[in-house]
């Protein structure tokens, strides 16, 4: 069973207003609940816990980490970011959600600014599945609508994804690469765009399906441990 740690900054939802109404127990609680219902072994971690809830022990026991942050990216301590990065290179999956595009961990793994256009006016988004045979598209329609959301538009300053699974269109005419697959070291990384804190995006069945598929896809594989350095004893030598 895939062990998932759902990480959330968990600030907006405690500040009251719309975010607190839509996610009264935090975005992490909603995500953890639908992953738990689908049979994953789920725990949560948040920014204000010691070590942001991401101790060596927690990360060792995590197959896939999901990441949601927005207003406090700078408060994530660099040593924790480095710890997560090392685990990804070692094979842990990472699913970065929405405003996590600006998280330290995503920017470090991508090596680019990860900047984009945005506009928060509750516009409609239509998400298109552009790679229907990909495991993250399993059970997902050719296209589906997010009725009200924040717009993200291109250019999205990330490296070209190894596979682009979803692309979005917005009412204003902007488009966006919404579902991007990467590998870093032995680990798999998936970026998924939908999910602003003031809209019930993570309550939507299509979104839950994609996040669950991404967690399944990103899990570690039992591959060999590579060796490095001078090869003194090559396999073809007697």
Distance in Å, CB of 226 to Zn ion, minimum = 38
Sketch the per residue contact string, 11 through 50, with Zn ion: x for CB under 5 A, - otherwise.
Answer: ----------------------------------------
C-alpha pair distances (Å), 176 with each of 15, 117, 128: 29, 9, 10
First to last CA, the chain: 42
Stretch that binds Zn ion, among 31-39, 122-130, 148-156, 180-188 (CB under 5 A): 148-156
Count of residues that interact with Zn ion, criterion CB under 5 A: 3
| Distance separating alpha carbons of residues 134 and 214, to the nearest angstrom | 10
Distance in Å, CB of 236 to Zn ion, minimum = 54
Q: Considering the rule CB under 5 A, would residue 150 count as an interface residue with Zn ion?
A: yes
Stretch that binds Zn ion, among 106-114, 147-155, 169-177, 221-229 (CB under 5 A): 147-155
Q: Residue 40 or residue 202: which is nearer to Zn ion going by CB?
A: 202
Q: Residue 12 or residue 85: which is nearer to Zn ion going by CB?
A: 12
Residue with CB nearest Zn ion?
Answer: 196
Q: Residue 198 or residue 213: which is nearer to Zn ion going by CB?
A: 198
Nearest alpha-carbon partner for 2 in 226, 235, 221, 233:
221
Task: Please pick, from the candidates 99, 129, 178, 213, the single residue that binds Zn ion as defined by CB under 5 A.
Answer: 99
Helix, strand, coil % in the chain, rounded to nearest 5: 30, 30, 40
| Distance separating alpha carbons of residues 197 and 224, to the nearest angstrom | 40
Residue 113 C-beta-side C-alpha neighbours within 13 Å: 6
| Distance separating alpha carbons of residues 96 and 68, to the nearest angstrom | 7
Q: Residue 3 or residue 96: which is nearer to Zn ion going by CB?
A: 96
> Given the structure tokens 């040593």, which residue do they identify?
79
Torsion of CA 14, 127, 43, 223, to 10 degrees: -150
Distance in Å, CB of 70 to Zn ion, minimum = 6
Distance in Å, CB of 121 to Zn ion, minimum = 12
Q: Considering the rule CB under 5 A, would residue 196 count as an interface residue with Zn ion?
A: yes
Residues making contact with Zn ion (CB under 5 A) = 99, 150, 196
């Amino acid at each position: 069973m895939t062990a998932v740690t759902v990480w959330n900054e968990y600030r907006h939802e405690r500040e009251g207003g719309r975010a607190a109404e839509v996610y009264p127990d935090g975005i992490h609680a909603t995500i953890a609940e639908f992953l738990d219902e689908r049979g994953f072994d789920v725990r949560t971690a948040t920014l204000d816990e010691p070590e942001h809830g991401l101790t060596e022990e927690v990360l060792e026991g995590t197959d896939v980490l999901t990441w949601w942050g927005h207003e406090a990216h700078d408060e994530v301590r660099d040593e924790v970011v480095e710890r997560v990065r090392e685990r990804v290179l070692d094979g842990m999956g990472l699913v970065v959600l929405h405003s996590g595009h600006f998280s330290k961990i995503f920017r470090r793994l991508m090596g680019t600014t990860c900047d984009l256009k945005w506009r928060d006016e509750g516009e409609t988004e239509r998400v298109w599945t552009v790679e229907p045979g990909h495991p993250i598209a399993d059970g997902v329609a050719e296209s589906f609508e997010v009725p009200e959301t924040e717009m993200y538009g291109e250019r999205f300053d990330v490296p070209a994804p190894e596979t682009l699974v979803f692309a979005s269109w917005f009412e204003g005419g902007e488009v966006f690469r919404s579902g991007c697959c990467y590998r870093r070291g032995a680990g798999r990384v998936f970026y998924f765009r939908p999910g602003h804190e003031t809209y019930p995006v993570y309550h939507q069945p299509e979104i839950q399906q994609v996040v669950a598929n991404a967690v399944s896809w990103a899990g570690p594989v039992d591959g060999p441990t590579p060796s490095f350095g001078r090869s003194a004893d090559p396999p073809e030598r007697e």
